[in-house]
Amino acid sequence: MASTSAATPLKNKRKFENGKKKPKTLKDEFGEKLDIKPVIVPPKPADEYDYDSSDEEDLRNTIGNIPIKWYDDEDHIGYDKFGEKIAKPAKKGEIETFLEKMEDPDYWRKVFDKQTGTDVKLTDEQIEKIHNIATGKYPTIGYNPYEPFLDIFSSQKEIHPIDNRPEPKSRFIPSKDEMRMVSRMVHAIKMGWAKGPRAKKEEHKSYDLWASEDALDNVTKSQLSRMRVHMPAPKVALPTHAESYNPPEEYIFDDEERKKWEEAEKEDRVLNFMPSKYDALRKVPQYDKFITERFERCLDLYLAPRQRKMRIHADPTDLLPDLPNPNDLRPFPTTLAFYMRGHTGQVRAITVEPERGELLASGGEDGTVRIWMIATGRCIKTFQMDGEVTSVSFSPVADRTLLAVAYEGKYVAILNTGCGDRLHVQQTEALLAETPTDAQEDGAVVTWRKSKEKLMLKMPNEVRQVTWHSKGDYFASVAIDDIAKSVYVHQLSKAKSQCPFQKRKGHVQAVTFHPTQARLFVATKIHVREYDLARCVLVKKLITGCKHISTMATDANGENLFLGGLDRRFCWMDLQMGNKPWKKLKHHTAAVRSVAYHKKYPLLATVSDDGTAMVYYARIYTDFVKDNELYPVKRLRAHEKTPNDLCMLHTTWHPTQPWLITAGADGTIALFTY
């Protein structure tokens, strides 16, 4: 404890010494007293010398710096200089401590010192210092943190300089180093090694007084749109001769015209002034209607709305479709080669033998069926029928020389032509002989019988058309009458006929078989129905757009249907594109009598009562990427019109050549080649 109290006064001494030195230095420098508050006087050193208790304490415990706690388990606390144990001070008991506390008034001042083992009594100064530390104040008693500020320099002005040393000479002489550096730079510039300072070029700036007018930044949206769709005002009409000061005589009003002009309303007048005549320009008076005219002009410009009229400059050739050159679509028939003569009266039907195309069969109004050689037009055989022939059809099987003939008297005959291959003729004779006509059912509507090398079918009604199935065993017939049972399907190998329909769906005009499937196309006057013969159901009903269908044909695959009508219309039905026509044409001026499609070439022909046959290039694509093509390429004229306005009645194509054969009402058959 003494050491502690000894250290504290030392610190205080040092601080006070600093305070003392400062005023002394100030006095010594300037020789005057400063106006400063008085400093607290430190305690006297004599008091310090009066105390020797620290020495006593040190002497009392001579154990050195060994921690006391090492001797907690021992009865002594170290050794003295003689080596003898120093005994521990005696511990006070609780009762003794309590009694000291009650009786001793300085008990609160005592602190136990472990080093010496005795109680130390604190002084008042020490207690105040501890209290300052506990309350956060400065530990030094009497310390003033707000000492007045002492300037480092004096504010008093002196007449003498502080430093009396004179300025050296080098302050007044320019620097040699700088001079050397500048010389080096000048030399480098002279030698071209370095560039001098770059002269700043002044750009001559020209000001545009009207720049703001050209720029579009200041323009509003309405002004922009007005510029974009600028519509100039309509021009004033130029003056005419009547407005001259000396017009010709015919422009001057006479009495009648003047009266008429004066009586008319002002809005109805053609001229709003009266033409007058002066012989000299100096005599022309002032125009008294000038103000009125200008006002009306401004009124028109302000009130009359203007509208931009879009005018399309379309070249008529651009509106037409791009058609190919007909010469690129050859071959198609272009010229009439010759006529085949022999029939008297109308030639109503023609048919060509399949595959070879050497023979042509024709049926006419004279009740004959004739076989012709196409190469020369020679008639080589004639069959006499008992009535007017309405339809003939060669069997599509090339191994048979069968010909189906429908003629008036309600008969259908199956003939052996007897021309062509001898072997095929014999085979056909055997086939006809084997037909089981004797095994017919009783009460059958159609009766079959043999009659010297031909089969005769007695039908219940007059037959309009007879057509073969592509396999050659079945053939169908259509009656002329409008009845429910107008269509019959006949089977040659069994000599059997049956009617596939029980109800009337319309007046049947034509039937045709599907080339590859077991289907039947039935054309009434307006519609075409497709029936599945295997399942006996209606597959499709086609809306044709024709008013009166007269003829029907299919292509080789059965996916397209060609229809001709008595209302001059021709329809192409693509059966894969719904039930509406793919194309409708009206190139004829009279009824279309027959339609034919070629098996090898993409050619289509229609014949009509107007005496012409239209030949079309008709290409069919099976894939759906490409569309079908139909171009009219040639109009062929032949045959003569009869008094009842019939001309061409039937047509067919040669099976191997692009030749067209037409049957005429004048009794001739025409062959067209190219």
Query: What six digits make up the tokens of 478?
Result: 């259509």
The token pair that represents 664 in the structure block: 């005429």
Q: Does 600 bind other proteins (CB under 8 A)?
A: no
Stretch touching other proteins by CB under 8 A, among 120-128, 252-260, 303-311, 418-426: 418-426
Name residue, tokens 């339609």: 595
User: In the bound complex, what is the minimum distance in angstroms from residue 327's beta carbon to other proteins?
Assistant: 12
Specify the 3-state DSSP secondary structure of 537: strand
Q: Is 638 in the site for other proteins (CB under 8 A)?
A: no
Judged by CB under 8 A, the number of residues near other proteins is 20
475 and 460 in contact (C-beta within 8 Å)?
Answer: no
Question: Which residue bears the tokens 């430093």?
Answer: 163
Binding other proteins (rule: CB under 8 A), the pick from 419, 476, 552, 647 is 419
327 binds other proteins (CB under 8 A): no
Question: Which DSSP string do the residues of 425-482 spell out, in sequence order?
Answer: HHHHHHHHHH--GGGPPTT-SSEEEE-SSEEEEE-SS-EEEEEE-TTSSEEEEEESS-
To other proteins, the closest distance from the beta carbon of 497 in angstroms equals 34
Identity of the residue numbered 42: P
Name the residue with tokens 């791009």: 322
Burial of 466 (0-12, 13-18, 19+ CB in 10 A): buried
* Interaction between residue 164 and other proteins (CB under 8 A): no
Q: Which of residues 186 and 380 has its CB atom nearest to other proteins in the complex?
A: 380
In this chain, which of 375, 433, 534, 625 binds other proteins, going by CB under 8 A?
375
Task: Give the residue carrying structure tokens 């396999």.
Answer: 471
115 forms part of the interface with other proteins (CB under 8 A): no
Distance, CA of 355 to CA of 397 (rounded, Å): 9
Query: How is residue 75 annotated by DSSP?
Result: S
CB of 419 to other proteins, least distance (A): 7
Give whichever of 27 and 341 is closer to other proteins, judged by the CB atom. 341
Report how far apart the first and last C-alpha atoms of the chain are (Å, whole number). Answer: 148
- Provide the pairing of β-strand 335-341 with 487-491: unpaired
Residue from 335, 344, 382, 498 that binds other proteins (CB under 8 A)? 335
Task: Quote the CA–CA distance of 391 and 368 in Å, as a whole number.
Answer: 11
Determine, following the binding rule CB under 8 A, whether residue 418 of this chain makes contact with other proteins. Answer: no
Residue among 625, 621, 561, 623 nearest 595 (CA):
561
Is 326 among the residues that bind other proteins (CB under 8 A)? Answer: no
Structure-block tokens of residue 471: 């396999």
Distances (CA, A) of 168 to 165, 173, 210, 321, 422: 9, 10, 68, 111, 154
Among 6, 66, 380, 483, binds other proteins (CB under 8 A): 380
Closer by beta carbon to other proteins, 23 or else 420? 420
42-50, 376-384, 497-505, 579-587 -> range binding other proteins (CB under 8 A): 376-384
Of residues 358 and 567, the one with the C-beta less far from other proteins: 358
Examine residue 565 and tell whether it contacts other proteins (CB under 8 A). no
DSSP string, 106-142: TGGGEEEETTTTEEEEPPHHHHHHHHHHHTT--SSTT
Q: Which stretch binds other proteins (CB under 8 A): 197-205, 235-243, 278-286, 421-429?
A: 421-429
Least distance to other proteins, CB of residue 602, Å: 18
Q: Does 635 bind other proteins (CB under 8 A)?
A: no
**Closer Cβ to other proteins, 337 or 543, answer by number:** 337
213 half-sphere exposure, CB direction, 13 A CA radius? 3
Closer residue to other proteins in complex, CB, 330/504:
330
427 binds other proteins per the rule CB under 8 A: no
Q: Judged by CB under 8 A, which stretch of 222-230, 233-241, 369-377, 538-546 contacts other proteins?
A: 369-377
Residue 429 found at the interface with other proteins (CB under 8 A): no
Using alpha carbons, select from 460, 372, 445, 365 the residue that is nearest to residue 411. 460
Among 147, 421, 640, 645, binds other proteins (CB under 8 A): 421
Which member of 21, 294, 422, 600 binds other proteins (CB under 8 A)? 422
Question: How far are the Cα atoms of 301, 396, 412, 466, 513 from residue 469, in angstroms, in the given order?
Answer: 81, 8, 16, 10, 6
Contacts 24+ apart (CB under 8 A), 236-244: 236/297, 242/271, 242/275, 243/273, 243/275
Whose Cβ is closer to other proteins: residue 334's or residue 642's?
Answer: 334
What is the footprint of other proteins within residues 224-253 (CB under 8 A)? none
List 358, 429, 473, 559, residue binding other proteins (CB under 8 A) = 358
Least separation in angstroms between residue 358's CB and other proteins is: 5
Part in contact with other proteins (CB under 8 A); list of ranges 305-313, 331-339, 386-394, 622-630: 331-339
- Coil vs helix vs strand at 403: strand
| Identity of the residue, 340 or 549, whose beta carbon is nearer to other proteins in the bound complex | 340
Q: Which of 376, 384, 502, 622 binds other proteins (CB under 8 A)?
A: 376
Assess 337 for contact with other proteins (CB under 8 A): yes
Q: Rule CB under 8 A: choose which of 22, 27, 114, 356 binds other proteins.
A: 356
Contact 193, 184 (CB under 8 A): no
- The answer to whether 363 contacts other proteins (rule: CB under 8 A) is no
Stretch that binds other proteins, among 25-33, 125-133, 228-236, 333-341 (CB under 8 A): 333-341
Q: Which is nearer to other proteins, 115 or 657 (CB)?
A: 657
User: What CA–CA distance (Å, rounded) separates 360 from 351?
Assistant: 6
Sheet holding 411-416, edge to edge: 389-394, 402-407, 411-416, 454-458, 447-450
Residue nearer to other proteins on the CB measure, 370 or 469: 370
The stretch among 150-158, 241-249, 307-315, 419-427 that binds other proteins (CB under 8 A) is 419-427
Site for other proteins in 645-674 (CB under 8 A): 656-657, 673-674
Of the residues 342, 354, 363, 377, which one makes contact with other proteins according to CB under 8 A: 377
Q: In the complex, which residues of this chain contact other proteins (CB under 8 A)?
A: 335-338, 356, 358, 375-378, 380, 419-423, 656-657, 673-674
